[in-house]
Amino acid sequence: MFKKGIKSAAGAVLLTGAFILTQPFSAYAADTVTSFTDFSKAVTTHMTNRDTSFEIDYSGTSSDVASLTMNLESLIKDGYSADDYLKWSWTDILSSGMIYSYSTADRAVININVTYLTTKAQEEFSDGALQQAVNSLIKDGMTNKAKITAIHDWVLGKFAYDKSLQNRSVYEGLTEGTFVCQGYALTMYRMLKAAGFEARIVDGSMPAGPHAWNMVNLDGSWYFIDATNDDAGSNKYRLFLVGSNVLHLKKYKWDQSNYPVASTKSYIQIQR
């Protein structure tokens, strides 16, 4: 038996070992996959559904099974990284499994346990509330910029920064009125996607420490929105649809290779 643990924002905890069985075994109620890609897709499906415990039954050659166990953390990461919202929606992942060896093929039955920020029911509540807000904000004839502005202004008017640094989810924001940068970024992402925009959640830092903000594709170009810091000052548009030049000047840092190429100029500069 082997175990692997992952903790979000706290590094990886690894416990490794191996246990090989050669006798037949009773069938597991598990997803059955034969490729690494399908393994990661199964992780995505279960985590999107907020399943707290699930099994994936992988079959392949002995070398394939060995490779899967060696790369298990990476394959799970591929699963939850399929969507930015999902990537920010869990706190702990623990995986364990059994390897079964046969004359024709090997199998690895992997059990994955996940702790999430929210339950499925809470996510459904949040989705409904945000979709209702988007439906009320977006009107026929609005420009794309006007739609994004309406969403941004609604978020700033609806929520406040959680000075206790406890609330991180959309659900906590909707029920308690406050959250940290993670909540702002998750909410903006969900609403922008609901309004039909391509959007991303950026994982990076600013001089004050780790930080999350958004990117949005407006009329073919990608811009940044930092709703958290827009909500912190009198100028609520100081980091709204800005280019990479603005963030670099403010000493924001992020791995640009993981995100779309952003405009070097802010939207307002291009429109002049």
Q: pLDDT digit string (tens) for 67-77?
A: 999 999 999 99
Sole residue written with tokens 């897709």: 41
DSSP the chain: -EEEEEETTS-EEEE----EE-S--PPPS-EEESSHHHHHHHHHHHHHTT-SEEEEEEEE-HHHHHHHHHTHHHHHHHHHTTSHHHHTSEEEEEEEEEEEE-SS-EEEEEEEEEEESS-HHHHHHHHHHHHHHHHHH--TT--HHHHHHHHHHHHHHH-EE-TTS---SHHHHHHHSEE-HHHHHHHHHHHHHHTT--EEEEEEEETTEEEEEEEEEETTEEEEE-HHHHTTSS-TTTTEEE-HHHHHHTT-EE-GGGSPPBPSS-HHHHH-
> Would you state the pLDDT for residue 76?
98
CA distance 87 to 44: 10
- pTM of the predicted protein model: 0.88
Residue 22 in tokens? 């050669």
> Would you state the pLDDT for residue 44?
98
> Would you state the pLDDT for residue 15?
30
> Would you state the pLDDT for residue 272?
53
> Would you state the pLDDT for residue 45?
97
Residue 186 in tokens? 């998750």
> Would you state the pLDDT for residue 262?
96
Residue 129 in tokens? 């509330």
Sites in the chain below the pLDDT cut of 70: 1-29, 103, 272
* Cα 22 off chain centre by: 39
Backbone φ and ψ for 15, nearest 5 degrees, come out as -125, 115
Q: pLDDT digits over 193-215, tens only?
A: 999 999 999 999 999 999 999 99
Q: CB within 8 A of 69, min separation 6: which ones?
A: 2, 18, 97, 99, 108
- Return the closest-CA partner of residue 228 out of 212, 244, 242, 241: 212
> Would you state the pLDDT for residue 14?
32
Number of other residues whose CB lies within 10 A of the CB of residue 250: 14
CA distance 117 to 268: 36
Counting Cβ atoms within 10 Å, is residue 126 exposed (0-12), middle (13-18) or buried (19+)?
A: buried
Could you give the dihedral angle defined by the CA atoms of residues 185, 189, 195 and 198, in that order, rounded to the nearest 10 degrees? Answer: 130
